[in-house]
Amino acid sequence: MIFFTGNCRVETTVPFFALMAFLLLADRTGAALCGLCAAALHEGGHLLAMHLCGRAPIKIRFTALGAEISAEGGTESYLEDAFIAAAGPLVNLLLYLLLLLCRILAPVSPAVQLFALANIVLAVFNLLPVQPLDGGQALLSLLSCHCKRETSYRIVQICSFMTLVPIGVAGFLLLFRSHWNVTLLLADIYLFILLLMKPERFGQA
């Protein structure tokens, strides 16, 4: 499905809708809904950062692997790229800290606790130094301020594999020691797929 909001083209894919339907239908705890809300706020953080940097989005594509955002061309700034990449996880982290403060000051409902958990998990996951997660994108941009782009890519690729290998090992150990809990292993496979595909999540058009 394709529609426009202002000058921005928004595209949603069949795998995206299939994943959303599966998560919402299979969930019995409300965790999926909390996760989707946290993800929406996460992407909103990226869009807000782009607006603050004067980069209007011209295309947003939602897939089963996440959102890909293309911005109109402008003065390239690696520091701005790093800020835009980090903005999504920072929104989740700030929300988690705010909800944690609320929990300290007064009792909160289980739904609020689930929402807080969804935000911190999303923040930590996306801050991993794995390309093209936000952490990897931010690291690439920061390195590019001081190194050649090709050198920066190589460093980020090394960091990505050094991060994914121990996560994969931990995933296998968890698989056999916790009655076939595949969550961590599937997350690692997902990250490997992202690394191999290497989409530009915040590219310029």
Write out pLDDT tens, residues 42-61. Answer: 999 999 999 999 888 889 98
Domain-terminating residue out of 127, 147, 171: 127
pLDDT at 73 over 70: no
**158 CB burial (10 A radius; 0-12, 13-18, 19+):** exposed
Q: What is the pTM of this model?
A: 0.86
Its domain, for residue 170, covers: 129-197
CA distance to 31, 166, 183, 194, per residue, from 175 (Å): 22, 14, 8, 22
Average pLDDT, the chain: 88
What is the model's pLDDT at position 79? 94
What total number of domains does the chain contain? 2
What pLDDT, in 10s, does the model give residues 104-134?
999 989 999 999 999 999 999 999 999 878 9
Domain-terminating residue out of 127, 142, 167: 127
Tell me, yes or no, whether 89 and 144 share the same domain.
no
Domain-embedded: residue 178: yes
Rounded to the nearest 5°, which phi and psi values hold at 9?
-90, 125
Tell me, yes or no, whether 113 and 143 share the same domain.
no
Tell me, yes or no, whether 119 and 181 share the same domain.
no
Count, residues in the chain = 205
The two three-digit tokens of residue 45, written as one number: 């953080």
Q: Are 134 and 89 in contact (CB under 8 A)?
A: yes
What is the model's pLDDT at position 65? 67
Helix (H, G, I), strand (E, B) or coil at 107: coil
CA Rg, the chain, in Å? Answer: 18
Tell me, yes or no, whether 19 and 106 share the same domain.
yes
Tell me, yes or no, whether 94 and 111 share the same domain.
yes
| Residue at 116: amino acid letter | A
Q: Are 134 and 199 in contact (CB under 8 A)?
A: no
Most confident of 56-70, 134-148, 178-192: 134-148
Residue for token digits 């939602």?
62
Rounded to the nearest 5°, which phi and psi values hold at 27?
-80, 135
Rounded to the nearest 5°, which phi and psi values hold at 25?
-75, -35
Tell me, yes or no, whether 72 and 158 share the same domain.
no
